[in-house]
Every structure is written in C-alpha cells, then in structure tokens.
C-alpha cells in the first residue's frame, strides 16, 4: 500500500503513507519561490516515470521545508525519501545550501504504484480545488506539466 494525498490549508499539504510509515509536509503559499513547488514535484515524478535514476525537488515552508527524493532501486521499485532542510533559514537572505536534515519519511515501493499514486493525487487536487486553487495558491494549477506526465504514463502502459 502506498498513498499520496494533497490538501489545501495554509499552503499546500502533501501526505505520503505506507502500511508502516506516513508523513504530512506543507509548502508555503508565499509567492517568494521562483518555481512552483507543485509543478516541480510533477516534473520530478515525470522524470522518475521516464527512467531517470534519481530526482529531487524542494517543498519549502517558512521557516524550514523538505526535500523530496525519488530514486530507482530496480526497474520495478523506487525509493521515496523526504528529509527536512538541515538549515531552515532559507528565507533569511543569506547564502543557503540545499543540505538534507532528518529523514521524515522513507519507503521502497513498486514504481508503478508510486507513479499512479502521485498522478491520482495530482488529478484529485486539480479537480477538487478547481474553483479556488489560484485563490489559495500563488501559481496556476500546472495543467501542462500534469498533462505531460499523464500522457507519457498512458503511452508507456498501453
């Protein structure tokens, strides 16, 4: 079992769960990041689906945040690790390095299960919050990135 869900709270909350582990992490809804963390996560999942061995993205909070790492273990399995930022002070304007802190979530799951779980959660988020998404999140819903992922995954599995 592996599940992925999103909820809108202050910011965007990502929940990952297996039979033995779970974590909920939030991303800030301040438009201070140059790149939308949701679009970055969709891109990371697309890279994993297409065979990239290791991919990572940030899920920034204020203060703090998390790194989401996706790695191919074998052709059929992947590892998902979420680490806190070692230095939560990324907003302070000083020189900041992407150093990983404590492991918050870790799981090895079938790649198909991981990719389809993320796709379902992305689609549910887009449809469930279609009317108020842009009011609650400073970026438009990343339809283009999600369409690329869904199209690629559909072609790969047809």
Q: State mean pLDDT over 2-13.
A: 92
Of the candidate CATH numbers 3.30.2450, 1.10.3470, 3.30.420, 1.25.40, the domain formed by 2-156 belongs to 3.30.2450
The reported pLDDT for the residue numbered 114 is 98
What confidence category does residue 64 fall into, taking pLDDT thresholds of 50, 70 and 90? confident
- Could you give the C-alpha distances from 120 to 17, 30, 149, in angstroms and in order? 14, 25, 11
The yes-or-no verdict on residue 62 having pLDDT over 60 is: yes
- By the 10 Å C-beta count (0-12 exposed, 13-18 middle, 19+ buried), 157 is classed as exposed
The reported pLDDT for the residue numbered 91 is 67
What confidence category does residue 157 fall into, taking pLDDT thresholds of 50, 70 and 90? confident
Closest CA to 139 of 65, 40, 60, 36: 36
The yes-or-no verdict on residue 32 having pLDDT over 70 is: no
Closest CA to 61 of 39, 40, 41, 32: 32
């Amino acid at each position: 079992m592996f599940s992925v869900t999103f909820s809108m709270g202050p910011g965007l909350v990502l929940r990952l769960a297996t039979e033995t582990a779970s974590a909920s992490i939030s991303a800030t809804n301040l438009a201070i990041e140059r790149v939308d963390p949701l679009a970055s996560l969709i891109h990371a999942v697309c890279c994993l689906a297409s065979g990239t061995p290791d991919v990572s993205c940030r899920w920034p909070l204020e203060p703090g945040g998390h790194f989401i790492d996706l790695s191919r273990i074998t052709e059929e399995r992947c590892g998902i690790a979420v680490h806190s930022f070692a230095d939560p002070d990324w907003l302070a304007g000083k020189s900041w390095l992407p150093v990983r802190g404590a492991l918050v979530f870790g799981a090895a799951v079938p790649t198909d299960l991981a990719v389809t779980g993320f796709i379902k959660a992305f689609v549910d988020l887009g449809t469930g919050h279609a009317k108020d998404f842009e009011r609650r999140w400073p970026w438009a819903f990343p339809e283009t990135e999600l369409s690329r992922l869904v199209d690629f995954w559909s072609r790969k599995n047809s």
